[in-house]
Amino acid sequence: MANRFCFMLLIIIILRGCHECTGFQGKFYRSNSKALTSYNRTLSALSKIGCSVECASDRLCKSASYNRTTRECLLSDVPAFDIDFYGNDDSLVEVFGKTEWTLVFRGFPGIGSNPRTAWLTGDSGSTSDPACQQLGNTSCTKHFRHRIASVWSSLHIEQVKIAFYKDSLEQSITFDGRNRTLSNWFTPDRILSSTWGSVRANASFFAFSIEGHCSRAFYVQPTHWSGGCADDLLIAAVITSNCACGYDNHITYPKFYFATGNNAGKPQTLTGMALADGFAIFIK
């Protein structure tokens, strides 16, 4: 009894001393009937808590599988929500995942392929090359699309985030991703949070969809102004080809507009708006 008490006390001390370990308290998925088959390191652990601590202290670990009988702890770089894609039935195993974002799509400007089509279909304009997953990489000629996007319906997704980047600035919207598909998570009624104060679940929008309007995909427009293109106010738009306004017309495509402040900006004059270095989609 004393040994058991000492062991539990030790685990509590470890958890309090490991800031990364707190992510497991809010784990986004846990399975009692499957085991991940893709793993990077195997070790022994006295409990599932100890196994989770090992994963939390490993920079590359995204999930941990613990066998209650053998006390094997398998550390993996595969996210726990991917278990139906990389998992086998095993009633003795529990899987825990870190609460962190996984990048599943990255759009590159000016490379000539449509990011909306690349996202929805994984066509020839996309690649799963890990080098193109890095946000600092500017040499890719295709949009990055993670292989797990193809099995979206099998993933245990809680949230989806779209983010636009310009130098050190990031603007984003986070959505409730539960029971959604590749094409229908991007709706205003699913908004959980946003860096734009005017983008809220109870706000009204003239346009808000992946399909968008004209050549504008991932399109968020709060209101429609009758004064013409110069008065258009946008939150975000991925421009895939020529369209009705001057801000739609470029030498190379795609182009990514996003509002840099708290509210919508004017793309025609780049007032409160910028052309992004890229945009990305994350899940967890």
pLDDT digits (tens, 9 = 90+) for 128-143: 898 898 777 888 999 9
* Six token digits for residue 127: 């690649």
DSSP-derived letter for residue 245 is S
Locus of tokens 């996309």: 126
Per-domain residue ranges for the chain?
A: 2-97, 102-283
- Identify any residues that bridge with 266 across adjacent strands, giving them in sequence order: 271
- Architecture of the domain whose range is 2-97: 3-Layer(bba) Sandwich (3.50)
Element (H, E) at 282: strand 278-283
Alpha carbons within 13 angstroms on the beta-carbon side of residue 134 total: 8
pLDDT digits (tens, 9 = 90+) for 16-61: 444 444 444 444 344 455 555 556 678 888 887 788 778 877 877 8
pLDDT digits (tens, 9 = 90+) for 151-192: 898 787 889 999 999 999 999 999 999 999 999 999 999 999
- What is the CB neighbour count within 10 angstroms for residue 23? 18
- What is the CB neighbour count within 10 angstroms for residue 226? 5
Q: How confident is the model at residue 88 (pLDDT cuts 50, 70, 90)?
A: low
CB 207 within 8 A of CB 218: no
* Six token digits for residue 218: 């991932």
Supply the pLDDT for residue 93. Answer: 74
